[in-house]
Amino acid sequence: MPKINHTELIDLLQQAYSAERAAAFAYIGHARSVKNADEKKAIKQIEDDEWHHRITVLKIMEQYDIPISKYYEFRFYVIGKIIWYSCYVIGWFMPYYFAGRLESGNVCEYFRMKQFFNSLGIKEHDVILYEMGIKEKEHEVYFLERIKNKKMLPVFEKIFNWGNKRSFNNIDLDKKYPVERSDVYCKKD
């Protein structure tokens, strides 16, 4: 197996692998806490997407003999379970808000992975990393759509820096760049 020598990329893959399980756990609780059947179905689909991302990231890690981080697995397991159970007590708005905020940040994980692989001359993962980044953006948009007109959003946006006017990524789904031109996404200066 070829090994890669890129500490940031390895750490990002390990974090993403473990964080996808935390997100899936959170969406299990979120889906169970909502009453609307369509919302339950949409959140269940997002949970399924997170499990798929976890499997995909693991395959990439295995290709380069990158071990699973026991620390991240434990940390994100606990975080995911806490979020799961908190969905029953924090009301309707906050699970949607924090899910959207989380997804907004997750978008860039996959585009940064793509950029890191490309810096090593590896392009074989470009399409799947692009697709996972775009899927995370779709999740962000879904959650924002559910709360975009709620009275609490401007307050939360001011405190937590995400909402109608702020995102943690620069992707516009209506004007997507193709894979080969997607390096403009999530660039760190």
Task: Give the pLDDT confidence of 60-86 residue by residue, as tens digits.
Answer: 999 999 999 999 999 999 998 998 888
Res. 1: pLDDT tops 80? no
| Percentage of the chain lying above the pLDDT 70 cut | 99
Is the pLDDT assigned to residue 92 strictly greater than 90?
no
- What's the pLDDT band for 87 if we cut at 50, 70, 90? confident
Output the pLDDT for position 48. Answer: 97
Whether the CB-CB separation of 63 and 13 falls below 8 Å is answered with: no
Half-sphere exposure in the Cβ direction for 13 (13 Å, CA): 28
From CA 187, how far away is CA 121, in angstroms rounded?
18
Q: What was the pLDDT predicted at 189?
A: 59
Specify the pLDDT at position 25: 93
How far is 80 from 99, CA to CA, in rounded Å? Answer: 12
Res 5 pLDDT > 70: yes
Task: State the pLDDT at residue 91.
Answer: 83
- Which pLDDT belongs to residue 36? 93
> What's the Cα-to-Cα distance from 160 to each of 19, 25, 96, 156, rounded to whole Å?
20, 22, 14, 6
Q: Which pTM does this prediction carry?
A: 0.93
Rounded average pLDDT over 114-142: 96
Architecture of domain 7-184: Up-down Bundle (1.20)
The whole-chain average pLDDT of the chain stands at 94
Instruction: Give the whole-angstrom CA distance, residue 104 versus residue 46.
Output: 14
User: Which amino acid makes up residue 24?
Assistant: A
| pLDDT surpasses 80 at 176 | yes
Q: What is the DSSP string of 24-67?
A: HHHHHHHHHH---HHHHHHHHHHHHHHHHHHHHHHHHHHHTTPP
Confidence band, pLDDT 50/70/90 cuts, at residue 28: very high
What pLDDT digit, counting tens, does each position of 148-174 carry?
A: 999 999 999 999 999 999 999 999 999
First to last CA, the chain: 33
| Count of Cβ atoms closer than 10 Å to residue 147 Cβ | 20
| pLDDT value for 90 | 86
Domain boundaries, the chain: 7-184
